[in-house]
Amino acid sequence: MKYALRLFTIMFVFLASASMAAQLPDFTELAEKSGQAVVNISTVKLVKNQGNMQQFFPRGPQGQHPFGDFFDQFERFFGEQGQGTPREQRSLGSGFVFSADGYIVTNNHVIEGADSIKVNLQVDKNGDRSYDAEVIGTDKETDLALLKIKADKPLPYLAFGDSDVLKVGQWVMAIGNPFGLDHTVTAGIVSAKGRTIGAGPYDNFIQTDASINPGNSGGPLIDLDGKVIGINTAIVASGQGIGFAIPSDLARQVIEQLKEYKSVKRGWLGVSIQNVDENSAKALGLDQASGALVSSVTVGDPAEKAGIKAGDVIVAVDGVSVADAGDLTRKIGDLLPGVKITLSVWREGKTVTIPLVLGERSAEKVAQGRPGAPGSQGEDVLGLSVRPVAEAEAKALELDRAQGLLVVEVSEGSPAAQNDLSAGDVILEANGKAVNTVKALKDVIEGDGKEKGVVMLLVKRQGRNVFRTVPLS
């Protein structure tokens, strides 16, 4: 009986293991076929040497070299022939062919600043073939680049898949050249979608545990159908199994524009926006914390011409809901300049629709430094010491005229301090009402503020408008 039980157990474990193995995907055929379109990209950048021999030796306490006299005589005799001699800086990356006529996708950071670019293809049993590559266009904001090579015959290529229908837990395969090791294949699953990692305004990465290492950048992330659903781009250096890929839907749009225009054209509203948090939603009367809160509108840009105002919450674009500020940025960036759209905007407790024609996105303005906050002490409100802005201070505070209340001091641990208000801020509005006197601010707090339990302040900071919401409980 015991023998029969043991035999049954062994057979059960064996059959279970066989069943599990049968359910695991076989990547061999996929790797062989897809690998033919994956390329190795090597770049050379000429870097000019700076300085002279003395830079390689430590200086003395007075900034003098211990062998200063020797170096002076050496350089007077030999001159400066050795100074500024360029040296070669080499790097490796990955990419893939996506059309038979030799167009190649990679990351911008793989080829940025390169003086020469070589693409190595593994297309047949005769080994690799090397080509000089031409840069057709690049897009720093999404870290994508389009290259072109002149091949002597049609090339194997990979087609783009639909990353929008990709599901967390789905099997994927990465092919690339980690640490310079040609055509390395790794497999894993999709760990998450829609990741924001601070790489740029259009962050929307696919996270995967398929091994991605230095040198994999620009290589494809492939689904089991052999379609490219992502371009491997970034890793968490301190973590294992945490890699990020640009979704194919975003990459395809960018590549198509680079191919046609050699640059990327994006829609532009002309607003500064921020996320709606729970307190802001409460103050604005929104049912949920979603949408993009407009903190300022640029004069002359499409939003201002259409009547968008600070304090509006953009909740939908052409009927499609806006989740947060990043989502709005991506939605507008996906559209071309000159396109007519309709925005759904939450304003004063109701939704209004506003049509407008998009402008073209330009380089972002560099933030200006904030001048020091001058002045005397003011009255205490919400843990803030505030006073009206003087006429002489308006220009220094980047105001068109003397308006609002200058924050002179913020009490440590106060509701204001806990919600990111600081000395030098100028409070322009409270719950949508202009506040040019301390009494006006107190009236809003005692009335509408107490009724809602929060007060939302429109603040001028470093030349930009931002909203800060302070709970009154």
Could you tell me if 65 and 22 are in contact, meaning their C-beta atoms sit under 8 angstroms apart? Answer: no
Amino acid identity for residue 345 in this structure: V
pLDDT per residue over 315-326, tens digit each?
Answer: 999 999 999 988
Specify the higher pLDDT residue, 362 or 142: 142
Q: Which residues are catalytic?
A: 109, 143, 217
Arithmetic mean of pLDDT, 16-23: 53
Query: What was the pLDDT predicted at 373?
Result: 35
CATH of 379-471, one of 2.30.42.10, 1.20.1050.10, 3.40.50.880, 3.30.70.360: 2.30.42.10
pLDDT per residue over 226-235, tens digit each?
Answer: 999 999 999 8
Backbone angles phi, psi at 340, to 5 degrees: -90, 130
Arithmetic mean of pLDDT, 338-351: 94
pLDDT per residue over 240-262, tens digit each?
Answer: 788 999 999 999 999 999 999 99
Specify the higher pLDDT residue, 298 or 55: 298
Query: What was the pLDDT predicted at 383?
Result: 82
Query: What was the pLDDT predicted at 411?
Result: 80
Query: What was the pLDDT predicted at 197?
Result: 82
Is the pLDDT at 295 greater than 70? The verdict is yes
CA distance 6 to 158: 51
Query: What was the pLDDT predicted at 61?
Result: 43
Is the pLDDT at 400 greater than 50? The verdict is yes
Is the pLDDT at 395 greater than 90? The verdict is no
Arithmetic mean of pLDDT, 25-31: 90
- CATH code for residues 163-261: 2.40.10.10
Query: What was the pLDDT predicted at 314?
Result: 96
- For CATH 2.30.42.10, the residue range(s) in the chain are 267-360, 379-471
Query: What was the pLDDT predicted at 410?
Result: 83
pLDDT per residue over 197-233, tens digit each?
Answer: 877 788 899 999 998 888 889 999 999 999 999 999 9
Specify the higher pLDDT residue, 245 or 63: 245
The fourth-level CATH superfamily of domain 267-360 is PDZ domain (2.30.42.10)
Range from 70-79, 115-124, 386-395, 454-463 carrying the lowest mean pLDDT: 70-79
Cβ-Cβ contacts under 8 Å for 134 (sequence gap 6 or more) = 147, 148, 149
Specify the higher pLDDT residue, 23 or 94: 94
CA distance 425 to 159: 52
Could you tell me if 397 and 349 are in contact, meaning their C-beta atoms sit under 8 angstroms apart? Answer: no
Is the pLDDT at 367 greater than 50? The verdict is no
Specify the higher pLDDT residue, 388 or 296: 388
Is the pLDDT at 19 greater than 60? The verdict is no
User: Would the pTM count as exceeding 0.85?
Assistant: no
Is the pLDDT at 158 greater than 70? The verdict is yes
Specify the higher pLDDT residue, 226 or 24: 226
Strands 379-381, 384-388: parallel, antiparallel or unpaired by DSSP?
antiparallel
Q: Which residues are annotated as a binding site?
A: 109, 143, 215-217, 233-237
CA distance 275 to 338: 26
Range from 2-11, 299-308, 375-384 carrying the lowest mean pLDDT: 2-11
> Rounded to 10 degrees, what is the CA torsion of 73, 79, 84, 90?
-80
Query: What was the pLDDT predicted at 370?
Result: 34
- For CATH 2.40.10.10, the residue range(s) in the chain are 163-261
Q: Which two tokens stand for residue 376?
A: 């005397």
Query: What was the pLDDT predicted at 203?
Result: 86
pLDDT band at 99 (very low <50, low <70, confident <90, very high): very high
Compute the mean pLDDT over every residue in the chain, rounded to the nearest whole number: 83
Please classify residue 387 by burial: count the beta carbons closer than 10 Å to its beta carbon, then call 0-12 exposed, 13-18 middle and 19+ buried.
Answer: middle
| Edge-to-edge strand list for the sheet holding 103-106 | 127-132, 116-124, 38-48, 86-97, 103-106, 144-148, 134-139
Query: What was the pLDDT predicted at 376?
Result: 41
Q: Which residues are annotated as a binding site for substrate?
A: 109, 143, 215-217, 233-237
